[in-house]
Amino acid sequence: MRFKLSVIASLLFTLFTHSGFAQVRTKIDEERKGVWYLDKKALELSEKFEKWDKNYYVGYMYEGSFKYNRASDYFGFKNAIKPLEEALRLIEKDYDYKLKTRTPDMRAYLDIYQYQLDFTWISYLLYECYSNIEQPTEAMRILGNVRSKKLQKELYCPSYPSMSWVIHRNRFHTSKKYPFLKNSIEENELLALKYLDSAVIKIQKSYFVNSTIYNPGHEQEDLRSVYWNKSLIFSYNFEMDSAEYYYDLLKSTGSFSENNYAYTKLMNGEFKESIRYFEIGKKKDDMSEKRTKEFYYMLALLNVYKAKPQTGITDLTDIISKLGSTPGFGWNNIGLARSYYYNGQLFESQKHLTKADEFEEMHIGTTWAPEQYDFIKNIFSYLNKERKLSSIPFEDKQYWYNVPVLVKMLGFFVDEQTDKFVLINKFGSNPERDYVYYHIFNPENMITFDETWKIIDGLDADFFIKRFNEYLIDDSRDNVKRYYRYFIARLLINKGKYEEAEKMLNEVLTDPEIDVEHEKLLQARCFEALCKIYDKTDSPAKYKENLLALYSTFPQLVPFSGNIMTFNLRVNSGSENPEVKKILEELYQCKINFLKPENRDSDFPTAELSFEKIDSIWQIGCKVTDKNGLAISNLESFKVDDIKGSGKRIGYYLFNIPTTTIPEYGENNYWLIAGILFIIALLWTAHRVKKSLKF
């Protein structure tokens, strides 16, 4: 009898307890109504709900949502994972049967809908968190768990399309690093497409069970994520017709990505259209959303192609000041490093490259990966060191007689070659170099064609000539073939085949399809290459013609090209002042040919200088005009209180370069270099005499 009473008491207690918990959970469900997962009240609610029932998933779901929404670094997303994992565990523990229920009955579906909605939301946030902290294996675990429920609608977290995206983003890795991958890029891309085909099959199988609940055409909404990913993958694999087909399916929907479509236009060499779509994406941007905003970086890159690096500098500086140290800060600083590099401002380029290097970048909502980020930093580390070397001969044409400068140049050369060695090794071990870099303008290529050339310059010319000639035949993108011809021409110059190279460069420049506004960098590099040919073949008239074309197209490139530009010089005022004479002496040290008024050549631009001292400040005017008197440079004057370095600054101003930092490498020491040369000659003579003696 006592036993029966204890059992009854236990059952009553259990029923009472469960009834109490049910009442609490009903209360929680009532209070959460109308409160969005990412609402400002999410944290406040989560604390209340967890206190009321620590075993109910809702409180942890709101806590994780709040932390995810405010995360912008590794620790932020890591902090969001813990409550989200607890929410996932608890919802599966208590409501797994509701998650696995499939029904065409509206009333039955309404009973399970909120749990399936919450489950897919929790799973989506966990997938995002793990992706953002570069843990794709964990992200795939979460997605595999969603897939296993066989939900009739995956709502916030479409499993197969998301798995396809993870595979595509990590395509250049193998199963050795991530077990869910295959062992080559080709296999991984095929696997990503298979997951998308599986998504289509799943949507089709769920059509009937959903048709009595959702409006007609509901399956099209589910298919959008499939189309979105297929457009991305087909673009990457140069299947342009297929990519365009899926973009067309998306264009009339809210799932169309102007940002992604801009890459497809860039792939085809349609730079104007690419800029247009990146601009649309930028205008639609939600400034509060913490993710990598690719369009700012890419628009600055495209402005380099237009020979307008200053525009990129202005835009990137503005967005960095607005967004601060949020995801994308590092990428935008790399973009600034590039813009300053092409604007001839070495010091500023290095400063922003250092910022990118010191920033722990988060690659959120993008296929851009840490490996690509590090690779581009390596490229600009090398380019800036190369630029440092080439700037010295421009600033001092007599540098050969300056021992301190020669010593420093030796150090710079060692640094540059070390970086080039590291860069080539990374490039050689990059499984995507053929897909992404040799083919040029692949959606995953975040460097310019010019930077690609800098990497392959000096490598096996015959290999690359063969490769790019194959692309001229096989690649269907006609606008890109200009760039293959340019590369082949540069490689032919390296082999001393000047006549063939000249013909190919002129083919590029006379191509009727070339976009003269948006392909100025290509034109400028062709003019530069032709200058090299005509210098080697002693053709002064053609050399002059192409040097002037290079200067008028992209003047910032000229000082570092090894060419000597000529200016008609006119000093309007202040020329007799001793300080002005010092400034002019420093200017004349630059690798520039100045013509006095009596030797004027109207083909060359005219540099008009003026000097005025007010109190202790010098106002230095620097105006450059063409033969018709039209202004060429948009830089006209600067002020200094110390004239040291002003001559070199004028030299850069003539090429539209607003350099403010001029490093000092050392003073000329003619006697010292002469003494060293004498000692070398003496030692060489002694060595020859010793070899001639017989002992």
* Residue 647: CATH number of its domain: 3.30.160
pLDDT of residue 690: 40
Is 11 a residue whose pLDDT tops 50? no
Task: Please state, rounded to an integer, the average pLDDT across all residues of the chain.
Answer: 89
Is 674 a residue whose pLDDT tops 80? no
State the amino acid at position 611 in one-letter form. F
Judge if 501 and 572 occupy the same domain: no
Is 8 a residue whose pLDDT tops 80? no
Residue 612, helix vs strand vs coil: strand
Judge if 555 and 575 occupy the same domain: no
Q: What pLDDT digit, counting tens, does each position of 262-292 carry? A: 999 999 999 999 999 999 999 988 766 777 8
Judge if 539 and 472 occupy the same domain: yes
CA angle, 506 then 511 then 513, to 5°: 160
Rounded mean pLDDT, 441-452? 93
Judge if 547 and 569 occupy the same domain: no
pLDDT of residue 416: 87
Is 6 a residue whose pLDDT tops 80? no
Is 92 a residue whose pLDDT tops 70? yes
Burial of 507 (0-12, 13-18, 19+ CB in 10 A): middle
Specify the CATH number for the domain of residue 508.
1.25.40
State the amino acid at position 212 in one-letter form. T
Cα–Cα distance, 579 to 640 (Å, whole number): 12
Cα–Cα distance, 339 to 342 (Å, whole number): 5
pLDDT of residue 217: 87
pLDDT band at 254 (very low <50, low <70, confident <90, very high): confident
Cα–Cα distance, 544 to 71 (Å, whole number): 57
Is 14 a residue whose pLDDT tops 50? no
The alpha carbon torsion through 40, 41, 47, 52 (nearest 10 deg) reads -150
Is 684 a residue whose pLDDT tops 70? no
pLDDT band at 626 (very low <50, low <70, confident <90, very high): confident
pLDDT band at 15 (very low <50, low <70, confident <90, very high): very low
Q: What pLDDT digit, counting tens, does each position of 344-356 carry? A: 999 999 999 999 9
Is 677 a residue whose pLDDT tops 70? no
Judge if 645 and 572 occupy the same domain: yes
pLDDT of residue 695: 30
Judge if 586 and 552 occupy the same domain: no
> Would residue 292 count as lying in a domain?
no
pLDDT of residue 473: 94
User: End of a domain among 520, 540, 561?
Assistant: 561
Handedness of CA 459, 461, 463, 465 (dihedral sign): positive
327 is written with which tokens? 């995801």
149 is written with which tokens? 């429920």
> Would residue 249 count as lying in a domain?
no
Q: Higher pLDDT residue, 127 or 634?
A: 127
Q: What pLDDT digit, counting tens, does each position of 550-584 carry? A: 999 999 999 999 999 999 999 987 778 888 899 99
Handedness of CA 434, 439, 440, 445 (dihedral sign): negative
Asked if 407 and 437 touch (Cβ cutoff 8 Å), the reply is no
Judge if 557 and 569 occupy the same domain: no
Rounded mean pLDDT, 360-385? 91
Asked if 625 and 605 touch (Cβ cutoff 8 Å), the reply is yes
> Would residue 649 count as lying in a domain?
yes
Judge if 480 and 511 occupy the same domain: yes
188 is written with which tokens? 């991984």
For 639, half-sphere exposure in the C-beta direction (CA atoms, 13 angstrom radius) is 5
Q: What pLDDT digit, counting tens, does each position of 469-527 carry? A: 999 999 999 999 999 999 999 999 999 999 999 999 999 999 999 999 999 999 999 99
- Domain count of the fold of the chain: 2
677 is written with which tokens? 């040369």
Judge if 612 and 593 occupy the same domain: yes
pLDDT band at 42 (very low <50, low <70, confident <90, very high): confident
| Element (DSSP H or E) covering residue 623 | strand 617-625
| Element (DSSP H or E) covering residue 393 | helix 370-395
> Would residue 350 count as lying in a domain?
no
Q: Tell me which of 18-22, 399-403, 452-456, 474-478 is least confident.
A: 18-22
> Would residue 469 count as lying in a domain?
yes
Cα–Cα distance, 599 to 503 (Å, whole number): 34
pLDDT band at 13 (very low <50, low <70, confident <90, very high): very low
> Would residue 678 count as lying in a domain?
no
Cα–Cα distance, 18 to 682 (Å, whole number): 102
> Would residue 62 count as lying in a domain?
no
In 10 A of CB 255, how many CB atoms? Answer: 14
195 is written with which tokens? 């997951």
> What percent of the chain shows pLDDT beyond 70?
92
Judge if 509 and 569 occupy the same domain: no
Structural domain span for residue 472: 457-561
pLDDT band at 9 (very low <50, low <70, confident <90, very high): very low
In 10 A of CB 110, how many CB atoms? Answer: 11
Which residues are paired to 614 by β-bridges? 617
Judge if 534 and 476 occupy the same domain: yes
User: End of a domain among 561, 584, 614?
Assistant: 561
**Helix %, strand %, coil % for the chain, to 5?**
65, 5, 30
> Would residue 444 count as lying in a domain?
no
User: End of a domain among 538, 561, 584?
Assistant: 561
Judge if 520 and 488 occupy the same domain: yes
